[in-house]
Amino acid sequence: MYQKETQQMLSLIRDAAVTEIIPRYQNVTAEMKYESDNFKDYVTEADKAASKKILSTVRPQFPGSYSEEHKHVDRFDHDLIWQLDPVDGTHEFIVGFRNGFGCNAALLERNTDNDFVPRVGIIYIPMTKEAWYYDGFETCWEIDGIKQKTPLRTKKSIVGSQRKVDTNPQLNTIYKQIGIELGLSVKIQEAGGAAAALADLCRGDINLHVFNYDIAKDWDIAMAIPIIEGLGGWVSDLEGNSFSNLNRPDDSGGDPYLRKGFMASIVFTKEQILPHIDPALFIEKAA
């Protein structure tokens, strides 16, 4: 349905990664974007330059398209727009976590309820040239432009992830409790930001991703929903709700935060996981 548009965006992302992101890797000047008692949000020249480069080409064709760095006010005025996060995992990018950051894009369409839902999703990992995308027809996996075979995934154990730059013991407890309830062993591995962690999920390196903070944003998961659903999986908040509108006005924190976190899996059903998520282990950081 959107094969041409998907390939055009993927080409723009690859070009921006080569010209604006990778040359700045390990040579970064970071600015503070938002700070609370427990949370610091950064932006770099790589974020801003990649965003500007991509949007300069996209907006003439898709007015209203925007990014985390350039949230154009007309993003609510059009029915089909691109939403971008040119450097997802900015903290990972700053500290030099090579495979911990990625580029996200989602083609959002306004539905009959006046909500914006993702029809296309792209995750691109610049340092490995890995791309996952759903083009309205199927989910595809490419490395350096070459399509890969469907990876093997296991459900014989719980393989979860912790964000390497910001681990928390509460998340370990969540995974271990799920393992106990399902009678499965548990392994937890380090992961990057949302793009990198969800690519790990698609690839089968992990089989369950839980994010128990309130600091994820619309563009951290919009791209992943069609990709993961195209693989037979699901994405929801930690109360089991699907994400029905992914182009929302900013809240008091300055961005459209997902205040109830998110989780995703391809091999486990939501019904298997949801009953074992303890609300007491959720952490508010951006409030």
pLDDT in tens, the chain (287 residues): 899 999 999 999 999 999 999 999 998 888 888 777 778 888 999 999 999 999 999 999 999 999 999 999 999 999 999 999 999 999 999 999 999 999 999 999 999 999 999 999 999 999 999 999 999 999 999 999 999 998 999 999 999 999 999 999 999 999 999 999 999 999 999 999 999 999 999 999 999 999 999 999 999 999 999 999 999 999 999 999 999 999 999 987 789 999 999 999 999 999 999 999 999 999 998 86
| Fold annotation for 158-281 | D-Maltodextrin-Binding Protein; domain 2 (3.40.190)
Strand 234-236 with 186-191, pairing: unpaired
- Contact predicate 237/262, CB 8 Å: yes
In the chain, the DSSP E strands lie at 30-35, 40-44, 66-67, 80-88, 102-110, 116-125, 130-134, 139-143, 146-147, 158-163, 186-191, 209-211, 234-236, 262-265
Residue 103 is given by DSSP the state E
| CATH 3.30.540.10 domain range(s) in the chain | 3-147
Query: Which pTM value belongs to this model?
Result: 0.96
Closest CA to 218 of 253, 174, 167, 171: 253
Domain boundaries 3-147, corresponding CATH code: 3.30.540.10
* Cα–Cα dist 208/268, whole Å: 8
- Contact predicate 104/84, CB 8 Å: yes
152 burial level (CB within 10 Å; 0-12, 13-18, 19+): exposed
Q: What is the DSSP string of 163-219?
A: ETTS--HHHHHHHHHHHHHHT--EEEEEE-SHHHHHHHHHHTS-S-EEE-BS--BHH
Strand, coil or helix: 41? strand
Q: In what order do the strands lie in the sheet with 209-211?
A: 209-211, 262-265, 234-236
Closest CA to 66 of 77, 55, 79: 55
Residue 149 is given by DSSP the state P
Residue 129 is given by DSSP the state T
| CATH 3.40.190.80 domain range(s) in the chain | 158-281
- Contact predicate 96/203, CB 8 Å: no
